Each structure stands twice: as structure tokens, then as C-alpha cells.
Structure 1
């Protein structure tokens, strides 16, 4: 059961999905769900995106996949990548299915990016972590170490395996995004 708590400017409906708060943006042309706002998972679908009939971590040639052709306030229409057959979903059912892992979508943008400076921890030197949240529900992190303790110059240390799996185009977007937020936050990258 959804509580109809809708903000008049952003038109966000608050729902409970899988026992957690979900903020569902009511834009009739695209799906945007922010699930568990305190530990957010971002999901977004636009015309041209893909919907997979499985959790994002599952891969098999038997899994159906559709390209989204239409999104309205009530429904989403896709065309099978394999057969060309048309499929229609009730929008709210698809939004819920994306959150609980019945469906997955491809990464088309990073919903938000956070920079965390971590002090000395567990015998490790201070470092900076940048986390980008994809609109496919996945997080992508990269860590930088300080070059000098008295300076805000950082250098690459390591990154999450999810970053290594990014397609070339999205890897470039990720690199530019991370570099930009670090510079905006006053860091120099070496």
C-alpha cells in the first residue's frame, strides 16, 4: 500500500517497497526510483533503455531483454531484442520489480556522486573515496591516496571491480565525473 505523499514541485510519491522507503518520481516520461534513501539505490528507465527479465547480476542467453519504446504515467512498453515481440508492463509493477530484482536496467547515467575523505583508519593512511551511484542500482567506487599529508593532492589507489566492468563509453563518463567532483571539492589529481 502506498501513501500518497506527493511534493507539488518534484512530484515524488513515497512508497514502501520490500519493507523500505522508496521515493518514486512521477515524471510521466521516465521512471526514477530512489530506494532506501539513507543507503540509496537509484533506478532509472527512459525510452531507448533496456529492461532485462532478471536481476542485474544474472546473465544467460535465455533471459529476455526489451528495448523501451514508450513510458506513460500508467504503463511501459518494450520490444523484445530477440524476437521483436511487444511487451507491456503496468508502470507501478515494473517500478517495484526493478527494486526487488525481478527486472534490471542498463546503466545510462550516474544519478549522484559523493566524495568522502577518510582519516587514518585501521592502520591505513588517510584517503579519499568517490562513489558514483548508477541509474541501474549499482555503486561504482574509486579510492585516492594523499600524496603529501599537508596537501590536497591525491593519486589513484584502486577501484571497485564494477568500475572495471563498465563499457568504454560509460568508463569515460565515470572518469570525467570523478575528476570533476574531486576538483570541485578542492583536490588536485596527480
Structure 2
């Protein structure tokens, strides 16, 4: 998947894990670990909140006791956010905020899916074969969508698939987020020679 901005990535070790971090202003982008498809991206206007969305349910993080900030400015050294409850301004040292995002002290809101891995799983029987799309969200979470080949159908060189299973959390997405998810999956499958 592409991105609309160039990144300047710097290697850092965060709590013993080799991580790549974007150092340009306007966006925090963290590859955790550097060799994985998992990533976190925060842009100006996004939300950062206390708690680890990768380890807790969304409802748990909606507690009024957990802070939530809209990110106003991402500079080279500092990040400024506005508390959604009180309207007070908060300033973080950028490296500290990046570390908290990487380790789960803070999370961001899910807005996009930049990376998708497609795996063709061939079982011993033809009906056991499946194609799995693992979709990575900008909040560090991953979601799956499973398909099976449609027998006897072909559209040019594309192999036809039909959905068989979806991550339950995907069903809870709003219309716009669901459209982004579906588009990311379709593009990744098309790049691998599949059609839905």
C-alpha cells in the first residue's frame, strides 16, 4: 500500500526492540518491530488516548478516567494535543510519545489500513484451500479476512474468491472505515492475482 508523504526513517531501540521511526514533522510513524508489517501512524487531527488498544477492548478504553487528546501539531521535538474533555493543551516530548505509542501506554484511533499480507493456504483436500488477508491498521492492530476459491470460475488471469470468514471486529466498523478496509483487501488480493 502506498502513502501520500515521504518518510525519513530512523532506527531506534525501544524497550529492547529494534524499531523504525519517522522523524519528519506532521506525522508519527512507527514500525514495530522494524522487520514486521505492524505499524502505528498518528497524523495531526488524530486522537491519542491512554491505554493499549492492542491488549484491551475498545469499550475499556472509553473510560472517562483515561485521557484522550486530539493531536494539533507534530513537530521535530514536541507534539501538542488538546484534551477532549477539558480543552487543556498538553505537550509531549516527541520521543517520549513515540515510545508510549510503541509500548502501549498510549494508543491512536483506527483510521486506515496501509499494509495487507495475503497468504494462500493449501490444504490436503481442495475444499480446505483458503486465502487469508491479514490487514494491519494504523493503531498497531491486525485484522483477518478469509476467502476460498470459487471452482470453475476465472476472469482472465485472476482467480475468483468468495469470502468465508471475517474478523468480528471488522463488522463493527463505521461505513467509511469499512470501505477503507474492503478497498485495502481488494487491492492486495488483486496485486496477488485474485478477484472477489
- TM-score grouping bracket, smaller chain normalisation: 0.7 to 0.9
Question: In the TM superposition, what is the alpha-carbon distance from 1:112 to its structure 2 partner?
Answer: 1.1
Distance 2:24 2:124 in 1: 43
Q: Does 2:33 align with 1:16?
A: no
> What do the CA deviations read for 1:12-62 (whole angstroms, capped 9, x no partner)?
111111221100011121100001133332011111000102212242122
Distance 1:122 1:103 in 2: 45
Distance 1:135 1:168 in 2: 17
Distance 1:50 1:113 in 2: 23
Q: Is contact 2:114–2:184 with CA below 8 Å preserved after alignment?
A: no
Distance 1:104 1:124 in 2: 40
User: Which protein, 1 or 2, shows the higher relative CO under an 8 Å CA cutoff with sep ≥ 6?
Assistant: 2
Pairs within 5 Å for 1:1-190: 10-56=7-53, 57=56, 58-59=60-61, 60-120=63-123, 125-148=128-151, 152-189=159-196
> What do the CA deviations read for 1:56-90 (whole angstroms, capped 9, x no partner)?
22421221100001110001000011110110000
* Structure 1 residue ranges without an equivalent (≥5): 1-8
Aligned residues: 181
2:3 maps to what in 1? Answer: none
> RMSD of the TM alignment (CA)?
2.1
Paired residue secondary structure (1:37): coil
Paired residue secondary structure (1:39): coil
Question: In the TM superposition, what is the alpha-carbon distance from 1:150 to its structure 2 partner?
Answer: 8.3
Distance 1:88 1:142 in 2: 39
Question: In the TM superposition, what is the alpha-carbon distance from 1:188 to its structure 2 partner?
Answer: 2.3
